[in-house]
Structure 1
Amino acid sequence: MSELPVPGSDPAGQPVSAIRTVACIGAGVIGGGWAAYFLARGLRVRAWDPAPDAGDRLRRTIDAAWPALTELGLADGADPAALELFPTAAEAVAGADFVQESAPEDLALKRALLAELAAAAGPGVVVASSTSGFPMSDMATEAADPGRLVVGHPFNPPYLIPLVEVVGGTATQAWATTRAAEFYRHIGKSVIEMDRELPGFIANRLQEAIWREALHMVAEGEATPEEIDRSITDGPGLRWPVHGPCLTFHLAGGEGGMAHMLDHFGPSLKAPWTRLDAPELTTALRDDMVAGAQVSAGGRPMAELVAERDRAVIAVRRAVEAARAAGGTGG
């Protein structure tokens, strides 16, 4: 009788570079995007989806994504034909080294499917869910082996946007979240390994806050959808590719950084600018924001950060303008 793995240890016993085959369960927009990305990284993909036309749809998705993936750079051995479809989810998972589930956002469906996948996966194989909002603790309730279940939440389209948020549930073993995060990093993803569950995770919650305010403004006749979109694409969106909102506000404080910005503009948090309640700007929150900005800055002086931001904004603007011009001329 084989020994059970020590809690927190990796029963796979192999580096993530040994992962060569991924099962993609669900071949819709997200699952298909994942499949294209895995193939571009030189991996083999075993796919399953219950839709009758799933195979044709998946191949169309991969074909559509391949030019962009080629431009970004393909891994050695990348082959869009390294794809095999299976009649059942269990069969697809049986020969995989890693599993990416991308079924519809239906909690009952997720629970039953993840239980099936966890039972079918081999020893040391992580089963990651692409869920956009459900905590794994809520999805893993029917699994006999929930220790290998993690959230691996991508941002759409997965073949193009690098972000993946990784977090386990209360029954997830530490080795599973660590292995999932290491695997995603190995194949070129930007990974946030969260230390606690949060419905909607990080990126979706921030995106949803802007979306809700946009809907309020349209509903009240305060702004049009076009004005809202332009306010981001020609405003803060140009800064965000290089500096996120926290580091952006750190720069807004000038030489005083985040501390000066919070001390100076803190009272405006209570101004009725949005329909979202502002948190109380306690000393602890202020100190956490200042310390976090310093970590993000990495010890670089303000002048260097400003120069980096300016170069990036100029590059982004030129790239977007060039893409629009090419599209307008049919190029």
Structure 2
Amino acid sequence: MANYPEFKNVTTVACVGVGTIGGGWAAYFLSRGLRVQAWDPSPDAEDKLRALIDAAWPALTALGLSQGADKDNFTVHADLAEAVAGVGFVQESAPEVLELKQDLLARLAAATAEDVVIGSSTSGYGMTEMAITAADPSRLVVGHPFNPPYLIPLVEVVGGEATDKKATEWASGWYDYIGKSVITMEREIPGFIANRLQEALWREALHMVDNGEATVEQIDTAITEGPGLRWPLQGPMLTFHLAGGQGGMKHMLDHFGPSLKSPWTRLEAPELTAKLSQDVIDGCNEEAHGRSINELIAQRDAGIIAIRQAMAGLSAAAAVPAP
């Protein structure tokens, strides 16, 4: 069993794959004062990574940089072994292709020291199925982030059947140490927790568009101006607890439980026909009202920063004892 390093002694990390997710991770690691060694087979990987870091840096600055944070403290390598040499942690963020993940994780396990934990940014695969070709799968852990990783704090952590439990514990502690909000899952389930919840909402939304029951903009407004305002504070379960009034969740279940049998939801995915695809695409373009992707990203980031800062203020106020 490996003797994993103390968090404070990890000063350099590797980002393997630097697309939207991997590049977002790189920006976040840099903001925490870490050095990043990146690897990506794309010939223009360095230019794309630098552009992503530059775009993310204002948001990270607004949220607060760690001492020693330097957005230029990264290198991009063509050789995988060179990219992971001397690092204390690896974050893999390759495309969601199972065979690619299996091969890459096996190569990473072989190229890194026995005390280096390797986290995968997979959004759906379990580590058990991704680790089957690795000679040493004990240090392979899922560290599932949310886009953009430099802004959204949640990381879901779960090991595979062959993962050392101490490696999973170390990964959870590491993500927490660098400022992430961590869910350590007891066992693997397809899609993890948050994506399972997102998928249910996504499928229902597609059904409503497909049946002409709601437009794309109406669906988004239904969340942003409705339950979405409550979820950052208490999530769906505690929100329903409060919906039961003084009786709490018990009253909620007693009163509304029978409605679970009502045809309010259709969890089977609709067929993604050409018409449905085009309807969703057209709806998004209409809702954007001419705003470019970059403009929408800037507005999203500014909104997330404001929400996180407001939430931090509420948490700080709650922690102050009443006079």
Give the TM interval when normalised to the shorter protein: 0.7 to 0.9
Matched, 1:262 2:262: no
Q: Residue 17 of structure 1 contacts residue 183 of structure 1 at CA under 8 Å; is this kept in 2?
A: no
Q: Secondary structure at the match of 2:192?
A: coil
Work out which of the residue numbers 126, 134, 147 in structure 1 matches 2:125: 134
- Aligned AA (1:198): I
Q: Indicate the residue corresponding to 1:147 in structure 2.
A: 138
Matched, 1:229 2:238: no
* Structure 1 unaligned blocks of 5 or more: 278-314, 320-331
Q: Distance in 2 between matches of 1:242 and 1:88?
A: 44
Q: Indicate the residue corresponding to 2:194 in structure 1.
A: 203
* Distance apart, 1:194 and its partner CA: 0.3
CA shift digits 1:22-65 (9 cap, x unpaired): 10000000000000000000000000000000000000000000
When the two structures are aligned, how many residues end up with a matched partner? 271
Q: Residue 33 of structure 2 contacts residue 68 of structure 2 at CA under 8 Å; is this kept in 1?
A: yes
Q: Residue 36 of structure 2 contacts residue 73 of structure 2 at CA under 8 Å; is this kept in 1?
A: yes
Q: Distance in 2 between matches of 1:119 and 1:94?
A: 12
Q: Distance in 2 between matches of 1:133 and 1:266?
A: 31
Matched, 1:125 2:116: yes
Q: Residue 241 of structure 2 contacts residue 248 of structure 2 at CA under 8 Å; is this kept in 1?
A: yes
Work out which of the residue numbers 10, 18, 42 in structure 2 matches 1:27: 18
Q: Distance in 2 between matches of 1:19 and 1:252?
A: 45
Q: Residue 159 of structure 2 contacts residue 168 of structure 2 at CA under 8 Å; is this kept in 1?
A: yes
Q: Residue 149 of structure 1 contacts residue 168 of structure 1 at CA under 8 Å; is this kept in 2?
A: yes
Q: Indicate the residue corresponding to 1:220 in structure 2.
A: 211
- Aligned AA (1:259): K
Q: Indicate the residue corresponding to 1:11 in structure 2.
A: 3
CA shift digits 1:238-288 (9 cap, x unpaired): 0011110000000001111111101111000010011038xxxxxxxxxxx
* Structure 2 unaligned blocks of 5 or more: 269-305, 311-323
Q: Distance in 2 between matches of 1:103 and 1:90?
A: 16
Q: Indicate the residue corresponding to 1:244 in structure 2.
A: 235
Work out which of the residue numbers 100, 103, 117 in structure 2 matches 1:112: 103
Alignment of structure 1 residues 277-292 onto 2, 5 Å: none
* Distance apart, 1:87 and its partner CA: 1.2
Q: Distance in 2 between matches of 1:243 and 1:225?
A: 26
Q: Secondary structure at the match of 1:62?
A: helix
Percent identity over the alignment is 69
Q: Residue 240 of structure 2 contacts residue 249 of structure 2 at CA under 8 Å; is this kept in 1?
A: yes
CA shift digits 1:135-162 (9 cap, x unpaired): 0000000000000000000000000000
Q: Distance in 2 between matches of 1:218 and 1:196?
A: 34
The alignment's TM-score, normalised by the length of structure 2, stands at 0.82
The alignment's TM-score, normalised by the length of structure 1, stands at 0.80
Q: Distance in 2 between matches of 1:44 and 1:154?
A: 20
Q: Secondary structure at the match of 2:69?
A: coil
Q: Residue 148 of structure 1 contacts residue 172 of structure 1 at CA under 8 Å; is this kept in 2?
A: yes
Q: Secondary structure at the match of 1:81?
A: coil
* Distance apart, 1:15 and its partner CA: 1.8
- Aligned AA (1:202): I
CA shift digits 1:87-117 (9 cap, x unpaired): 1222111221000000000000000000000
Q: Indicate the residue corresponding to 2:60 in structure 1.
A: 69
Q: Distance in 1 between matches of 2:19 and 2:150?
A: 13
Q: Residue 14 of structure 2 contacts residue 83 of structure 2 at CA under 8 Å; is this kept in 1?
A: yes
- Aligned AA (1:64): A
Cα RMSD (Å): 1.2
* Distance apart, 1:71 and its partner CA: 0.2
Q: Secondary structure at the match of 1:92?
A: helix
Q: Distance in 2 between matches of 1:80 and 1:49?
A: 18
Q: Secondary structure at the match of 2:152?
A: coil
Q: Indicate the residue corresponding to 1:40 in structure 2.
A: 31
Alignment of structure 1 residues 49-68 onto 2, 5 Å: 49-68=40-59
Q: Residue 25 of structure 1 contacts residue 31 of structure 1 at CA under 8 Å; is this kept in 2?
A: yes
- Aligned AA (2:233): V
Work out which of the residue numbers 156, 173, 178 in structure 1 matches 2:164: 173
Q: Distance in 1 between matches of 2:67 and 2:50?
A: 21
* Distance apart, 1:123 and its partner CA: 2.3
Q: Distance in 1 between matches of 2:256 and 2:124?
A: 32
- Aligned AA (1:205): R
Q: Secondary structure at the match of 2:231?
A: coil
Q: Distance in 1 between matches of 2:35 and 2:150?
A: 15
Q: Secondary structure at the match of 1:23?
A: strand
Q: Indicate the residue corresponding to 1:285 in structure 2.
A: none
Matched, 1:83 2:74: yes
Q: Residue 22 of structure 1 contacts residue 44 of structure 1 at CA under 8 Å; is this kept in 2?
A: yes
